[in-house]
Structure 1
Amino acid sequence: MAILEPQSSDSLVAWGDFNNAFEQKEYMEAYVAEDVARDMLDRDKALKAEFERRLESDEAFAKDPQARLAFFARRHSSWDERFNRYPVFRTQAVPK
């Protein structure tokens, strides 16, 4: 069973067999994300307030264009909720 445990030194993850599960497949190009971000800011006042708070409170975020675009990408309907999810699930044995 150690082969399925991601923390195991002898696991499929350690061997690189699940690398594709941790690669982002869907994304927006920056030029598209900029337009999407502007549209989202115009349509959602709560999102705009959250973004402005983050700009004011997080200096690294404010200086990082990719992080700012990622802020909107993660809130867009096209975001893949399964990104970085380990593709093996643990079940709990029921005592008899």
Structure 2
Amino acid sequence: MGALDKSQTAQAKDYENAIKFYSQAIELNPNNAIYYGNRSLAYLRTECYGYALGDATRAIELDKKYIKGYYRRAASNMALGKFRAALRDYETVSRASGMGQLPVP
């Protein structure tokens, strides 16, 4: 991926390379919720909502306290027209933000 690291890739809005980077990272460490969460965001930005949903769900399975996973799964479900599922996750995010854990998309 050249000189760009993972955070610079996402910040540069190079989501295709971010997807590749996180896919490689997941191959090396498949139990890291953050890798799945970050790839989920890249999939959201490229409108690959089914993949985004799958990665967000996997991130939550790996770490139930990973609030960004719930937020990204809710956004994926909204884009897919699954409004009740999205609402459940947004409620989880809302409860967590009430405890001082503000999510960042």
TM-score by length of 1: 0.28
Larger Rg: 1
